[in-house]
Structure 1
C-alpha cells in the first residue's frame, strides 16, 4: 500500500463507522410497544357446535359453561334431550326467545355411516321409555333424583392439592388420594354422561342431581356406570388410576361453583 492511498482508506473506514453509529442510534430511539400493551389478535367466538359421537346435551353444555336447559330451549330440544351425531347446536343462549323452537340440522349426506344408526336408536327409544313409564309410573318422582333429604359428601378420601379459583381458571378442585381409589357419587342422581370426549377431563362421569345441580368426576381410569343409570349417594361410579388424583366439579345453573362450600 502506498503512502498516498493510506489516508483514503482511513477516511473510508471512518465513514463506514459513522454510518454504523447512525443506524444503531436510529434503531435504539424507536419506541416499540411492550408485549403486554399489544392488543391480541381478534378471536372468533364459537357460536355453533357439531355433535360428535358419544356426546350428550349435558356434556356439550358442560364444555361451553352453559345451562343445559337453556341450551335445549335455544335449539328447540325437549326432554329427554336426544341429539344426533352431525347435528348442529346453536350456542348463543342469550336469545332464547328468538331461537327456542329452532334446531340447525346437518345434512344427512355428510354422515352416511352414523346417520342410519342414530336414527334407529332414536326411533327405538320412545316406545321403550313409554313402556317403562307405564310399568313404573312412580319412577319420574323418585326421591333418588330430586330428593332434598341429603347433603353433599366427598367423592373420595384425600387431600385437596388444587383449590377452586375462577381467576386461575380452576373450575373445580383436585383431590389426591391413593392408587385405584374408588370414586363415589357425592349425591343421588342420574348419570347423564360417561365417556372421555371432553378435552382435559380424561374419563369423565357427570351426574344430574336436580334441574339446577350437576357434578363431575374426572381423571378416572375405569368408569363403572352408564348413561341413564340411577345412582344412590356413595355408590361407586369409577376408579382412579395409579396416580390416585381426581378432579371434581359442581355446577349450579350451568356455572361452576366452589365444591368446598357444598361438601360436608
Structure 2
C-alpha cells in the first residue's frame, strides 16, 4: 500500500530539523495550518491524516488494526520509515500525543523529541487518578455519538474548542468531525476515550515538551501534572487559553513554545 496516499502525507520546508505534526480526534492536518507554517524555514515540516480523517484513504481502515491506538502508532512509524526520517520532533495533539508516545516507545531510534499538546493518557477517572470524566460520562457521550452524530458534535464543540473562542472555530471542528466516515469516527472515539496508556507515558525517555491550556475540560490540570511526573525531565508549558485546541485558538503562544523547545534541542545537539 502507498503509505503517502493512505495517510495523505505532505512535506514542505527545509532546514536541519524534521517536525512531524499529528492531529487529534475529529480533526485533520488542516487544523495545524495556524502553527505549522511557522516552521517552514526551521526544518522539514510533515503533516498527515489518520486513516478515516481528512483526505486519507478510508478504504485502508482495518477494524482489528485500529482497535487500539497501537495501530495508529504503527502508521506513524511506517510514515517515518518509508520517508527515511530520523531524529524526528513529533508534535501530537490530544489523542495523537498518546499515539506519538506509543511510537516513540516502540521505536526511539526515529525520534529526537516529543511535543505533546493537551495530552491525556487516560480520560476516565479512577479512585486515585483524575482524568476528567467518570466512566458513566464516557458511556453517555459515546452512546449519544452512536445515536446522533450531529447532536454529539454540537455538545462536544464548546468543550473541545472552548466556549470563549467563538462559533467559527467550533463550527470548523464540527464540520471536520462530520466529514469523517461515521463508523470509523465512532470506533476512533471509543478507543480514544476508553484507552489507558499511563504505563506507556512512564516509558518515555526523550526530551518532551507538554503544552496545555489553563482551562481544559477534556484534559484538566491534574492530567498535565500527572504527565509531567510520568515523563521524567519533561517541560510543562501552561498557556493562558481555554479549550482543548490551543493550536487553533491560541496559535501564536503554541508557536512560541514549540520554537523555544526546538531551539533548545538544536543547541543540545550542537553541543
Give the greater-gyration-radius structure (CA).
Answer: 1
Q: Normalised by the size of structure 1, how large is the TM-score?
A: 0.27
- Looking at both structures, which has the greater relative contact order when contacts are Cα pairs under 8 Å and sequence separation is at least 6? 2
Structure with greater helix percent = 2
Is the strand fraction higher in 1 or 2? 1
